[in-house]
Amino acid sequence: MLIDFHSHFLPQIDDGSRNIEESVGILDIMAENDTDIIIATPHFYCTEQSVEKFLERRDHAYERLKPHLKEGHPRIGFGAEVLYDHSLVNYDKLPDLCIRGTKWLLLEMPYTDLDDKILDGVEAITNRGDLKVLVAHIERYLNFTSMKRLDELMSMDLIGQINAKSLTSFKTKRRCMKLIEKGYVQVLGSDYHRIGRGDVTVNHGFEIITKNKKFDDFAEYAEENGMKILKDESLSSIR
């Protein structure tokens, strides 16, 4: 079962799909590429809007799209891509942004060096007890921080996601493979925003990874992880 844990296909809610037609087109592409489940993860910035307003906007975007969904489209789940901010450590509404039906939160790190304050804050979030952390597109942060810092982040009680598109260029593919080898990657996402932007569906990412004999069972591994996440099974059973 192919699960896409990171996407922006809901219409006119963030920098993703610009209208209903594009949203339908993205879901058509997902269906053509065998995606079974796709999680809608619009951007959430705690400094710009309340959780209540965000959820209202997300539900409204889906209700607008719903009459246009087709039988072959993937099943849709709901979450958010939450940009890290120090105030999130004690943010009481944070669990409401988890993937619906689970305690898993897709957390995006800031595009800066992962300094001690940020790492301490993320660790505090993982220790809250009312949610579990899935870090979005972990390969991207190496453009801003060192592998040592990323090692510190990924040593915490959390799991990681990479974008399928990052596997399509030589430089970022090598980076992703290294992260997979380190055991930092549990699932994939498309991070699909717009048609024609060059985003890649998760099946293509798995095809690239499993061509390497060292990782020929990675697709099964990620599928198992994905199902455990959606069933809200404990982190210890994933690692």
HEC letters along 144-212? CCCHHHHHHHHCCCEEEEEEHHHHCCHHHHHHHHHHHHCCCCCEEECCECCCCCCCCCHHHHHHHHHCC
95-136: per-residue pLDDT in tens?
999 999 999 999 999 999 999 999 999 999 999 999 999 999
Per the CB < 8 A criterion, the answer to whether 106 and 41 are in contact is yes
94: tokens are 């944070």
Q: Which of 23, 24, 29, 28 is nearest to 9 (CA)?
A: 23
Mean pLDDT of 205-215: 96
DSSP, collapsed to helix, strand or coil, labels residue 111 as coil
Q: Which CATH class is domain 3-232?
A: alpha beta
- Model pTM greater than 0.95? yes
147-170: per-residue pLDDT in tens?
999 999 999 999 999 999 999 999
- What are the extents of the domains in the chain? 3-232
* Alpha-carbon gap, residue 55 to 171, rounded angstroms: 37
pLDDT score of 201 more than 60: yes
Mean pLDDT of 15-28: 98
pLDDT score of 26 more than 90: yes
Given this model, what pLDDT does residue 233 score?
84
